[in-house]
Amino acid sequence: MDRSLLEKVGPFSWCIPQTGSMRVPAVIFADGALIDEMDDKVQQQLSNVARLPGIAKAAFAMPDAHWGYGFPIGGVAAFDPKQGGVVSAGGVGFDISCGVRLLTTTLTTLDIAQVNEALAHELSRGIPAGIGSRGRIVLDDDEMTQMLLGGARWAVEQGYGRHADLDRIEERGVMSGAEPNDVSEKARERQRHEMGTLGSGNHYLEVQRVDHIFDADVGRAFDLSMDQVVVMIHCGSRGLGHQVGTEYLREMALAAEECGLSLPDRELACAPIESELGKRYLGVMRAGINCAFANRQILTHLARRVFERFFPNADIDLLYDVSHNTCKEERHEIDGQMRELFVHRKGATRAFGPGSRDLPMDLAGVGQPVLIGGSMGTESYVLVGDKRSEQVALSSACHGAGRSMSRHQAARTWTGGSVKQELAERGIIIKSPSKRGIAEEAPGAYKDVGRIVRVAEDAGLARRVARLKPMICIKG
């Protein structure tokens, strides 16, 4: 990115000054190396987001930001409905409520080492993955409606998991305000056979070990310890979310003039929050969030069943589940006043600090677990929400490493076989139905996640708690 377009306003923050039709400034959290690695489209897209009606405070980009559709991935922006604020399908993304959950276990690295090949094989058999993957669950129309209303709670009531899991899921596993009846038949049909599936792209189920503890006190509160085995699940709302995004981006673009909106970029298609279209999208998007909650809950159940065959006495508990493609109604202090805002986080994670009423009682004094997934073969991280983040970036943090090259370029640079062999030599087992998918998700196609989380901590977005290293990765 061209530094001449930016003003450095802090050790780890850069400002795009408010010029022309920008309603607020834009802020990028990064060090110098990450700024130099970011493509110029991040600056262009973030400046365009800052032009949207009703935007509050600033448009933000997290340290892992890169070009996306409309909003940059890693983009955060909040809109005030009382000031004509908008909701943007491009600001949520196609994979609605794509997110990460982390399961803690009472197992150690040595336990896994004794069965790693067999465990990897059974996980790959038990966890459907890949483009168009289908699970064993088929929903009829009424079951689909109940799932879209009930989210993870519906899944638990169907026998997929435990009621205790719900306290450790964002929104307690159920997003209120969902309107399943407005979800199109095509979106429903795409999801009918996809519950309990990982899908493709950068989605995965990964068996990891705790490699380093940065904060011992928070680590204990999160039930994390050195050499402990954990399981990370990264996926979203599958075909339903993608279909919803496709439909509403088109409808919002066509309705922009009628809504009195002049879009700086057609990809920023949006609608006033208080409009019929805006309210309808929010209801359908919330149904998509519940779909993702239910999907990750079912995957958790499937993973537990596999582990129980090998380790019948092991405890496998949910630490937390948090989304990173959403629009949520939240209260934030702006210029000394509390305001009800609709916060878009696209490729960014909610990161509430200690004292938040949205956290379960046993975490409220510590802060929210912030789960940062690495790229295949690299480390992942557990962070904790920092009180500073409320003022810094609307209680938001990064969500992963962020791509440094396109999937097409990665597939031209590596082969699936070479990546798999390289990781095997490092003791990491990869299971995937697609060799091209492995090449597209090669670790070298992503930024340095360690640098990303260090910058996030130094910028006051969230604090590091633990580093996790992969042992088995089930890829789409």
Residue 92, phi then psi, degrees to nearest 5: -100, -40
* Rg over CA atoms, the chain: 21
Residue 374, phi then psi, degrees to nearest 5: -85, 175
Cβ contacts of 380 within 8 Å, gap of 6 or more: 206, 208, 232, 371, 372, 373, 374, 449, 467, 468, 470
Looking at residue 291, its amino acid is C
Token pair 């408010």 is found at 18
Looking at residue 418, its amino acid is S
Question: Which DSSP state fits 405?
Answer: S
Instruction: Compute the distance between CA of residue 325 and CA of residue 350 in angstroms, rounded to an integer.
Output: 10
Question: SS3 of 64, please?
Answer: strand
Which residues face 318 on adjacent strands?
Answer: 103
Hey, which residues are catalytic here? Answer: 399
Residue 179, phi then psi, degrees to nearest 5: -125, 80
Cα 284 to its chain centre, rounded Å, is 18
Cβ contacts of 222 within 8 Å, gap of 6 or more: 104, 319, 366, 369, 382, 384, 465, 466
CA dist 166 to 173, 212, 319, 322, 428, Å?
5, 28, 11, 12, 31
Looking at residue 10, its amino acid is G
